[in-house]
Structures are given as C-alpha cells and as structure tokens.
Amino acid sequence: MPVMTPADLLKFLDEHFPQAASAGMTVEHLDDKVIRLRLPTREENLRPGGTVSGPTLMWFADCGFYLLILGQLGPVALAVTTNLNINFMRKPEMGDLIGEGRLLKLGKTLAVGDFTIWSDGKKDPVAHATLTYAIPPKSKA
C-alpha cells in the first residue's frame, strides 16, 4: 500500500520542485509497483521537426520514477538517480504523453525499475527507460 497519495506527491513536487510542478503532470494511478502519469507537452518541449525533445522524455521518466519511489517510501527528497538508460523508439508528437513506471526492486539502499512512455492514443511506446535510484539511509533520531 503506498504511503503517499497522488495528491500528496503533487503537493511534494509543488513544495520542493516547483519547476517540475509547473509542467502540469498528473498522477492517474498509483499502487505498490506501478505509477501512471500524464504530461501535457507544450511548444517549449519540442525540438526542430515538431517532435517532443529527448530531454523532455528523459525528465518525464526520471521524475515519474522518483514519484513512484516516494509513493512507497514517503517524502524522501534526497533519493537520487544513480543510473538512467533510455531508448527512443518512435517520434512523439506534441500532445499528452502517458508514462508508466514499474518498480522492479525496492531495497534499503537502491530502487530499480523501468518507465515506458506513449503518445496519448497510440499503441506503441515512444521511449523506454531503466532507472536506478539511491535511497539515503534512514536518519537515527
């Protein structure tokens, strides 16, 4: 059972990462292993040729997986990306992006998973990432 709700996650972003909160991302689903997000794209997300840029897709995967981890652990602002590998598979068009992250392993010091991105309404994914996050040790109070 997640320890944070979708609303909690978005509030956390708003308080700690306002630059991410302003992107307009919404959480459509969250459970123990999966998060599903929607990200509207804008003109500033495009590269020449009218396709959504690689940095936008990488940010979506990274931020989405971070939210999945927070959903399980609570507000751990210092969990950090240690590895992100992404494959760009198709040209995403401007419009909403749908992202789904899966938690494959959640240990004491590392979280491992993947994140797949689709253009809304399309069957085939536009990108797939694998991610590893370092989880800070629990402070002894």
Can you give the residue ranges of every domain in the chain? 6-134
Residue carrying structure tokens 């992202």: 99
Superfamily for 6-134?
A: Hotdog Thioesterase (3.10.129.10)
Q: What does the alpha-carbon distance between residue 103 and residue 118 come to, in Å, rounded to a whole number?
A: 18
Question: What confidence tier does 9 reach under pLDDT thresholds 50, 70, 90?
Answer: very high
The 10s digit of each residue's pLDDT in 25-58 is 999 999 999 999 999 999 899 999 889 999 999 9
Number of residues in the chain = 141
Determine the average pLDDT of the residues in 63-86. 93
Question: What confidence tier does 139 reach under pLDDT thresholds 50, 70, 90?
Answer: low
Does residue 141 carry a pLDDT above 70? no
The phi and psi torsions of 2 (rounded to 5 degrees) equal -60, 145
Does residue 111 carry a pLDDT above 80? yes
Gap between the terminal Cα atoms of the chain: 25
The 10s digit of each residue's pLDDT in 83-92 is 999 999 999 9
Q: What does the alpha-carbon distance between residue 20 and residue 45 come to, in Å, rounded to a whole number?
A: 13
